[in-house]
Amino acid sequence: MPRIFGHHSGVKAVRECTEAAAEIGVQFLTLYAFSTENWNRPQIEVNALMSLLVETIGKEIKTLNDNNIKLKAIGDISSLPQSTREALIKGMKDTGQNSGMTLILALNYSAKWELTMAMQKLGHKIASGEIKANEITETAIANELATRDFPDPDLLIRTSGEQRLSNFLLWQLAYSEMYFTETFWPDIKKEDFWKAILEYQHRERRFGKTSEQLHPHKAAI
């Protein structure tokens, strides 16, 4: 089948994961929809993807509102085709009052682009005298990232047997748990999402500490 057939099927996976996340109380779900490197794909595929994004966002607004889900986006939105950009902005506006889960689409996004933009912004602040170089902290950097309004992910789910980050949230994933599945993205169902969550729940997140520090009562037994 043509590659775009897989992308159409991927829309179903978006719906499955969004519903699965909302049903169990996930507050933020980020989907890597289109990277800056994806522009290098065949033009016919890129055009089809952009059209699919416009079509999908328009169709899903009612479902998002019915489920109290807010739509947001990260990435270089200004460089998207006008129709795609307008559909995205309308979707974010039409769901802006929702207070349930936040669905974040990473569109025309790459972590290297994001970090470069952050460094440029901080450089301008130093040049203008707004801050000094020694005032650049982790917090200062995080505040210049596209994700400044969102918490860092607790869990990264990587599908299709791939075991790389693919230039995605390199700063934010520093302490995230990672889950890899052989299932291809278009085939992902709610059960696959919940399976990843279940494994995550059985992991111990130490953030550099020892198990004894996290569970001193266990060490005392």
The span from the CA of 208 to the CA of 161, in Å, is: 28
* pLDDT reported for residue 218: 65
Q: Which pLDDT does position 208 carry in this prediction?
A: 76
In a domain, residue 219? The reply is no
How many domains does the chain fold into?
A: 1
pLDDT in tens, 169-195: 999 999 999 999 999 999 999 999 999
Q: Higher pLDDT residue, 86 or 211?
A: 86
In 97-208, where does DSSP find H-type helix?
Answer: 111-127, 138-142, 190-201
Residue 174 located in a structural domain? yes
Residue 220 or residue 31, greater confidence: 31
Q: Establish if 214 belongs to a structural domain.
A: no
Residue pair 176/5 in contact (Cβ under 8 Å)? The answer is no
In the chain, the largest separation of any two C-alpha atoms, in whole Å, equals 64
**Using an 8 Å Cβ cutoff, are 13 and 191 in contact?**
no
pLDDT attached to residue 178: 97
**Could you tell me if residue 131 is inside a domain?**
yes
Q: Residues 68-117: pLDDT tens digits?
A: 999 999 999 999 999 999 999 999 999 999 999 999 999 999 999 999 99
Say if residue 26's pLDDT is above 60: yes
Residue 40: CATH number of its domain: 3.40.1180.10
Domain that holds residue 51: 3-204
Closest alpha carbon to 21 in 100, 139, 125:
100
Q: Which residue's structure tokens are 């005392």?
A: 220
* Mean predicted lDDT score pLDDT of the chain: 92
Does the residue 221 lie in any domain? no
Where residue 176 falls (left for φ over 0; alpha for ψ -120 to 50; beta otherwise) is beta
Q: Establish if 36 belongs to a structural domain.
A: yes
Q: Which amino acid is at 154?
A: D
Q: What is the pLDDT of residue 5?
A: 60
Domain assignment present for residue 46? The answer is yes
Find, among 12, 54, 23, 59, the residue nearest to 194 by Cα. 23
- Whether 172 is covered by a domain: the verdict is yes
